[in-house]
Amino acid sequence: MIQIYHNPRCGKSRTCLAFLDNSKQDYEIIPYLTETPTHNELK
């Protein structure tokens, strides 16, 4: 599954989600502004 570190105010991030929706890809949204990823999660 694809993980997307998403910022809803970012146009590129919204475009990426729209692309994934149109291509029927499964993905998980990670709102990194409110849920800061740990160092190990980013590895």
Per-residue pLDDT tens digits for 1-43:
999 999 999 999 999 999 999 999 999 999 999 999 999 988 8
- Residue span of the structural domain in which 7 resides: 2-42
Two tokens, residue 9? 């105010």
pLDDT at 43: 86
Q: Mark 3-28 as b/e (b = at least 16 C-beta within 10 Å).
A: ebebeeeeeebeeeeeeeeeeeeeee
* The model's pTM: 0.76
Number of domains in the chain: 1
